[in-house]
Amino acid sequence: MRSSLYEKDKGLISIKNELALVYDYIELEKMRFEERLQLKTNIDNNLINYKIPTLCIQLLVENAIKHGIDLKVGGGVVFLKVKKKDSKIYITVENPGVINQNKSVGLGLENLKKRLEIQYIGKASFSLTEIENTNVCAEIIIPMHIDDEKI
């Protein structure tokens, strides 16, 4: 986990490495949440060498646990998807819960939006939506630039 944190200076990280960090983090949180926390993934393996902003998936997963799983007595499933569509990468993290309307967007998501803006100059986007009042879905859409393919 620490080794991955050092890479934050570079700004970008391969999806593969980011996922390794996320999985380590989930393992750690499972010690705390035990059967209350489950992770389901659907990752397009052709994408794992693409680079994305460091810790962006980590942030979404942390939020899913902190604002979703942690509030549910019975816990639930964090569903992480990395997909490609129309030469864009879709990273989605879904968790049980609802969006707290009283709370304005926190620092983490605010920073994420800024980083996406700086890195992709308006071509990337972030959204947070509620699904049928039971789940919350956070989604990052990143364009697949040629530049990003370099490892």
Partner 1 sequence: MKRYKTIIIDDERLAREEVKRALEKHPEFEIIGEASHVDEAISLIEEIKPDILFLDIHMPGKSGFDLLEELTNVPDVVFTTAYDQYAVKAFEMNALDYLVKPLRDERFSKTIEKVKEELSKRVKIEPTTLPMHQKIFIKDGEKCHFIPLTDIHFIESLENYARLYFGSDKAMIKRSLNLLAEKLDPKVFFRVNRSQMININYIKEIHPYFNNKLQIILTTGEKVEVSSRQSVRFKNWNSL
Nearest-angstrom CA–CA distance, 82 and 31: 25
- Please, what is the minimum distance in Å from the beta carbon of residue 63 to partner 1? 16
For partner 1, which is the closer residue by CB, 9 or 34?
34
Q: Give SS3 for 138.
A: strand
- With binding defined as CB under 8 A, does residue 98 bind partner 1? no
For partner 1, which is the closer residue by CB, 28 or 118?
28
How many other CB atoms sit within 10 Å of the CB of residue 30?
A: 14
Residues 64-83 that bind partner 1 (CB under 8 A): 70-73, 75
Among 8, 32, 40, 123, binds partner 1 (CB under 8 A): 32
**Residues engaged in binding partner 1 (CB under 8 A):** 31-34, 70-73, 75
